[in-house]
Structure 1
């Protein structure tokens, strides 16, 4: 098969976001190009929305988001070829200006809203590059649990060389997560990713990890003991460390002679930021993050069906605005702290339900274009990426999206009633292996919860869409209007 050319699509996108001169910076997640523009009013939403290869355009989280779908990486590469290799260093803006989400021509708006938008954008840029590898690692760990189940005759011994070797392949992404997140966060901040990765390496260094597991005391002041903590699987401490490294690195480059910068900027940055993270910010953030993650886990389990119903019914609404990226680190924190996430088990059903809704459209419709798009979007949703389904069809026929929410509410309710949890990161149907208890392979409670909740979500969403949510006589929407971020000016 000939390699697909994305250059024309990339050229159209660049022109209609206001041209290269209007672009501050660009990142991408699993399905979207996320632009930071100088003036969003220069972008031509209507042209982009009707461009083949573009699913939708969204103003959210202080970003101008162009929804592409599963081919986003190829389109991103094509866009970056147009912008040129010097784009990241030659935008004419400071990094702080790049990171801000307020366009030059827009009103300043509420400080809290802008700060929240900045935070979501930073988390998105730090987490989206590593989601794929930790999702894949979660699937492998789940499959290992499946192979060690007594019900299957324990096909693989947990002490065998094969198990330990494959487990190392799967666990490395989680164990060295601070390194990966640090590198990605530094790239987002346009700072030195190697320095940030080294700081992440300090947090994941075997000796530090061993001391952290035993809460070894570093030193004491007035009876207060400063202890080492285990930062493998952690996210939030490294995100802050990357930001501190950026601030300190920039300051040192401004104040040190050029002939000293190559050696002393990374030397001082690594020593100072790593020390601050180990002694001050790391323990504080890790304590808050662990507490919040445990609280959410407890609330979901304690509330049972109530938490499942509410979260299941409304989670995909967050996806519309890209705000679900604020939840991703909490899920990772839950899994790292307790080895499981009740929240992620509910989120998994919401992916299944939106996939079932768009599948119903594909099978019911007599229109070839909707059949093709619907089947592709359903496969994507069952693999854990719902944006193609949501923006391609479900939101454009609002009843379809609502039908999906109904199914996910039912699925979440069942998950809550059965107190289901996930032991890995990957959701939807492809994430079935993440419901096997890694520590106790014989415990199938969560797997049964996954089967029943996914089946219920699939059936409810499919049937409601088939009989109420969609027919070919419905007029397709002109793309659902999205709310602009708080504080931004409304377009004329």
Structure 2
């Protein structure tokens, strides 16, 4: 087996342009990750014909080859032995790959680097909020009542679940502050403090801002005649992003200039104090307004043109995944959740993932090729659980028409659930378990949307494959 693996690895190296074309290489659970000097040298046809390779794609300046869990470790070690490039971490490969990105791609990658590390906390919170919905929402098991209304002994249990689930969203700026400051090169612990500072209980809660403004009861600081609103930024994304950038750059600048003997006394206190003042005086008010404009734009668009909005977002989400731009909409989802209490975008994302899985599953039934059958089945299961890259890059994009059929299904399903006003108060697993994150009284239209996202891509892909006489 070792000899076979070595030969296959040598074929992979040759297909991606030879070892001299590899700037850096690392691996994750299922994929080899390459930063290549010139991606145009990749021979896609030769690469796809290697039995060990289950698919490949390029994203964020990295060329990734899907191998499979467990086997990828052995393949990577063999690759290191053959090429002599030395083992690298995923961060090393990401850094090497950045030279291949244009400014827009770098900005998108920056957002991805900030939000992806905090996704486990957000998704976990979404799942727990879904469990709380099952316990508290009326009309699921009892007409007009929830489980906690009929069985009162469960009320406090649901209350604790709700507290645990809400924590990630209540202190969202703290999570973003940690990740953003770390990404910008500063001390992530200062980022946590900065984020928590923006949601300090002494500040007016952002969710109470509208009522306080209408009543004329917004509290202010008076700094030598300058009035500054004592406003918190719960659920807001832009204020902490911009403040984190300022904090990190200020800390880096001070570290270069302050002697080592007094750094502990100067760098962190000065950076945090100055950033805090700037955040409350300028960054917060400006970005809070911009964030509200963005929210209002999406709410107005989907409120007045629901069918078109759902159709277009369902159609473009999968192509956005190819470019990596889908990560930018995570910030929009969180902004919507923080501003209006839920997002109408994320449910469409879940249906898009299901549609990609359905198209891949159709290929399993349509093909007679053993390798493609195995890849189609495993990748469809992965997509149904929210991870679409194996299905998209390993199967659907390879044959093109499954990808197009999945887009048609996702767009149709997206249009239907948007017309039905389906909304998610949290972000969860973007596949079949997604209904847990949908408000309970919209489960029925969401299930119908799931049915659309399963049936249309599967049917179109299967019959077109038969028409094409796929082997």
Distance 1:435 1:321 in 2: 27
Distance 2:66 2:230 in 1: 43
Distance 1:408 1:212 in 2: 33
Deviation at 1:394, TM superposition (A): 0.4
Q: TM-score normalized by structure 2?
A: 0.79
Closer/same/farther in 2, CA of residues 470 and 302 from structure 1, 3 Å limit: farther
Q: 2:457 aligns with which of 443, 447, 461?
A: 461
User: 5+ unaligned residues in a row in structure 1: which ranges?
Assistant: 1-7, 92-96, 104-112, 438-443, 476-492
Distance 2:390 2:120 in 1: 17
Alignment partner, residue 167 of structure 2: 172
Distance 2:226 2:177 in 1: 29
Deviation at 1:461, TM superposition (A): 0.7
Closer/same/farther in 2, CA of residues 250 and 395 from structure 1, 3 Å limit: same
Alignment partner, residue 452 of structure 1: 448
Closer/same/farther in 2, CA of residues 314 and 212 from structure 1, 3 Å limit: closer
Q: Verify: 1:202 aligned to 2:197, yes or no.
A: yes
Q: Verify: 1:146 aligned to 2:149, yes or no.
A: no
Residues 349 and 453 of structure 1 are in contact (CA less than 8 Å); yes or no, is this contact kept in structure 2? yes
Alignment partner, residue 147 of structure 2: 155
Closer/same/farther in 2, CA of residues 293 and 53 from structure 1, 3 Å limit: farther
- Once the two structures are overlaid, the 10-residue window that deviates more, 248-257 or 420-429, is 420-429
Q: Deviations over 1:235-256 (max 9, x none)?
A: 2222222221221111101110
Residues 306 and 416 of structure 1 are in contact (CA less than 8 Å); yes or no, is this contact kept in structure 2? no
Q: How many residues align?
A: 435
Deviation at 1:229, TM superposition (A): 2.9
Q: 1:297 aligns with which of 296, 299, 308?
A: 299
Equivalent runs, 1:204-353 vs 2, <5 Å? 204-208=199-203, 210=205, 213=208, 216-219=218-221, 225-353=227-355
- Where relative contact order (Cα < 8 A, 6+ residues apart) is larger, the structure is 1
Closer/same/farther in 2, CA of residues 462 and 54 from structure 1, 3 Å limit: closer
Q: Deviations over 1:28-80 (max 9, x none)?
A: 8x988877x5945698675876584663131x44x2242659969x97xx899
* RMSD (Å), alpha carbons: 3.9
Deviation at 1:365, TM superposition (A): 2.6
Q: 2:384 aligns with which of 354, 362, 382?
A: 382
Closer/same/farther in 2, CA of residues 170 and 48 from structure 1, 3 Å limit: farther
Q: Deviations over 1:421-445 (max 9, x none)?
A: 22221233211012125xxxxxx2x
Closer/same/farther in 2, CA of residues 185 and 66 from structure 1, 3 Å limit: farther
Residues 54 and 394 of structure 2 are in contact (CA less than 8 Å); yes or no, is this contact kept in structure 1? no
Residues 54 and 68 of structure 2 are in contact (CA less than 8 Å); yes or no, is this contact kept in structure 1? no
Deviation at 1:358, TM superposition (A): 0.8
SS at match of 1:230: coil
Deviation at 1:200, TM superposition (A): 1.5
- Once the two structures are overlaid, the 10-residue window that deviates more, 307-316 or 420-429, is 420-429
Residues 127 and 184 of structure 1 are in contact (CA less than 8 Å); yes or no, is this contact kept in structure 2? yes
Closer/same/farther in 2, CA of residues 371 and 38 from structure 1, 3 Å limit: closer
Structure having the higher helix fraction is 2
- Once the two structures are overlaid, the 10-residue window that deviates more, 285-294 or 63-72, is 63-72
Residues 136 and 158 of structure 2 are in contact (CA less than 8 Å); yes or no, is this contact kept in structure 1? no
Closer/same/farther in 2, CA of residues 42 and 302 from structure 1, 3 Å limit: closer
SS at match of 2:313: helix
Closer/same/farther in 2, CA of residues 140 and 16 from structure 1, 3 Å limit: farther
Distance 1:290 1:155 in 2: 36
Residues 189 and 243 of structure 1 are in contact (CA less than 8 Å); yes or no, is this contact kept in structure 2? yes
Residues 301 and 342 of structure 1 are in contact (CA less than 8 Å); yes or no, is this contact kept in structure 2? no
Alignment partner, residue 215 of structure 2: none
Deviation at 1:362, TM superposition (A): 1.7
Q: Deviations over 1:136-192 (max 9, x none)?
A: 211210221121123224222599321221112211121222222222223333432
Residues 31 and 387 of structure 1 are in contact (CA less than 8 Å); yes or no, is this contact kept in structure 2? no
SS at match of 1:56: strand
Residues 350 and 408 of structure 1 are in contact (CA less than 8 Å); yes or no, is this contact kept in structure 2? yes
Alignment partner, residue 485 of structure 1: none
Deviation at 1:224, TM superposition (A): 7.5
User: 5+ unaligned residues in a row in structure 2: which ranges?
Assistant: 1-7, 81-85, 213-217
Q: Verify: 1:136 aligned to 2:124, yes or no.
A: yes
Q: Deviations over 1:261-302 (max 9, x none)?
A: 233211111112222222211221122123212321221131
Q: TM-score normalized by structure 1?
A: 0.76
Q: 1:66 aligns with which of 64, 67, 84?
A: 64
Q: Deviations over 1:391-420 (max 9, x none)?
A: 110000101101101111211221232222
Equivalent runs, 1:177-188 vs 2, <5 Å? 177-188=172-183
Alignment partner, residue 4 of structure 2: none
Closer/same/farther in 2, CA of residues 331 and 263 from structure 1, 3 Å limit: same
